[in-house]
Structure 1
Amino acid sequence: MFERFTAAARESVTGAQAQARELHHAYIGTEHLLLSLLAARDRPPARVLNELGLDHAGAVAAVRRLAGSDDLDAAALGTIGIDLAAVREKVEATFGPGALDRPGGRRKGFARHIPFTPAAKKALELSLREAIRLKHNHIADGHIMLGLIREDDGMAMRIITEAGISGETLRDRMTPLLM
């Protein structure tokens, strides 16, 4: 399937991994795919979502609220007098940069694989179905966006809906840009 992905679609998938790492999540979910699409501001999915009222910063805030992040952990630990930043700094000084980012510590030369959630896998499969539905022989980042809105169990659709955007509206705005 990935051989059909355009360069922008591949960047969206690899960008999702970067978004997950930035939030210190050990998985790639639909929310990370959404964040990656929004991070590519010059691409159609980000432009459409921005026009409809959802930007990258707003989506990051929603992900942090819904899924958690180190920021929330730091705030909770701070209330009992533990400075998470100081703990991280001390651990990294002893065990090396990124020691807390990877299970079992960091091994030089190896990047940790972050698995996709079932919902993210399904959204990517649905992007293929969207491409086939539109009679395209490639999968673009816009198809990934359409796959995300078809995967209604994913967090991405929850974030989109909470932003006041319906899947139908997003589909109506996105589909013509893929033609």
Structure 2
Amino acid sequence: MFERLTDGARGVVKGAVGLAGQRGDARVDPGHLLLALLDARGTKGAFALAALGVQREAVVGGLDEARRRGGVSAADAEALAGLGIDVTEIVSRVEEAHGEGALASSGRQAGRLRRAGSGHRPFTKEAKTILEQSLRVALARKDKIIGDEHLLLALTARPGVVRDVLAGCGVTFDGVQRVLGQGNGGAATAG
């Protein structure tokens, strides 16, 4: 699949690996892909994010908050609240007992111990799913190559933390489609 990526999409994937390394994360997740998209220049995905007014600080804040919650998305926290489970209270109690950011740092610390000195950063299952979804989005749009815009559409189509963060910034699958000039092409992939 990597051979079907445009230079821009390859740059995003490589950028995500680099960001994971800079943050000390053992694995590349969808949040790293989104941040790398935000760092891209002169690509369709970068254009769409800029046209939709996405601010990197807002995205970083949203991703950091989800990380603090142990990766629980805002939608999942809301669903749990409907069952009487207060994720904020749980996070507070864990941090009270184990220190601030205890849920956020567990994967990082384990990753550092396991991969000390290793330049290899594997992708999480969720990140691999995003890459696969980007291929489906490209095919639905009748594109022969996978650009970073397909990665962005895949990030907005898959439930989870990144889609929640983007939605909090006013970015949806349909909105990205409109900005890219493909109003309804590939809408079936948004589920």
Q: CA deviation at 1:5?
A: 0.8
| Residue 88 (structure 2) aligns with | none
Secondary structure in structure 2 of the residue aligned to 1:127: helix
Closer/same/farther in 2, CA of residues 147 and 166 from structure 1, 3 Å limit: closer
State which of 132, 138, 141 in structure 2 corresponds to 1:131: 138
Contact 2:27 2:111 in 1 (8 A): no
Q: How many residues align?
A: 147
The answer to whether residue 17 in structure 2 is matched with residue 17 in structure 1 is: yes
C-alpha distance in 1, partners of 2:180/2:162? 16
TM-score relative to the length of structure 1: 0.70
Secondary structure (helix, strand or coil) at the match of 1:102 reads helix
Q: Percent identity?
A: 32
The 8 Å contact of residues 135 and 150 in structure 2, kept in 1 or not, is answered as yes
* In the alignment, structure 1 residue 4 sits paired with structure 2 residue 10: no
Change (3 A) 1:125 1:175: farther
Which structure 2 residues correspond to residues 161-172 of structure 1 after superposition, within 5 A? 161-172=167-178
Question: Equivalent residue for 2:39?
Answer: 39
Per the TM alignment, residue 140 of structure 1 is displaced from its structure 2 partner at its CA by 0.8
Equivalent of 1:156, from 144, 156, 162? 162
TM-score w.r.t. structure 2 length? 0.66
3-state SS of paired residue (2:112): coil
Residue 52 of structure 1 aligns with an amino acid whose one-letter code is L
Structure 1 residues 86-97: aligned runs within 5 Å: none
Greater Rg by CA: 1
Query: What are structure 1's unaligned runs of at least 5 residues?
Result: 69-75, 81-99
Cα deviation, 1:62-87, whole Å, max 9, x if unaligned, reads: 2122214xxxxxxx8xxx8xxxxxxx
Deviation track 1:72-131 (CA, whole Å, cap 9, x = no partner) reads: xxxx8xxx8xxxxxxxxxxxxxxxxxxx97325744xx41x2222222111111111111
- Of 46-55 and 12-21, deviating more is 46-55
**2 CA distance for matches of 1:104 and 1:174?**
41
Can you give the 5+ residue segments of structure 2 that lack an aligned partner in the other structure?
69-94, 100-109, 183-191
Matched residue, 1:93: none
Distance in 2, matches of 1:137 and 1:42, equals 20
The answer (yes or no) to whether the contact 1:131–1:143 under 8 Å persists in 2 is yes
Partner of 1:87: none
In structure 2, what is the equivalent of residue 85 of structure 1?
A: none
- Given that residues 126 and 147 in structure 1 are in contact (C-alpha distance below 8 angstroms), is that contact kept between their aligned partners in structure 2? yes
Q: CA deviation at 1:23?
A: 2.6
What stretches of structure 1 move > 4 A for 4+ residues in a row?
none
Aligned-pair RMSD on alpha carbons? Answer: 2.8
Distance 1:104 1:127, change over 3 A: closer
2:152 to 141, 145, 155: 145
> What residue identity is the alignment partner of 1:128?
L
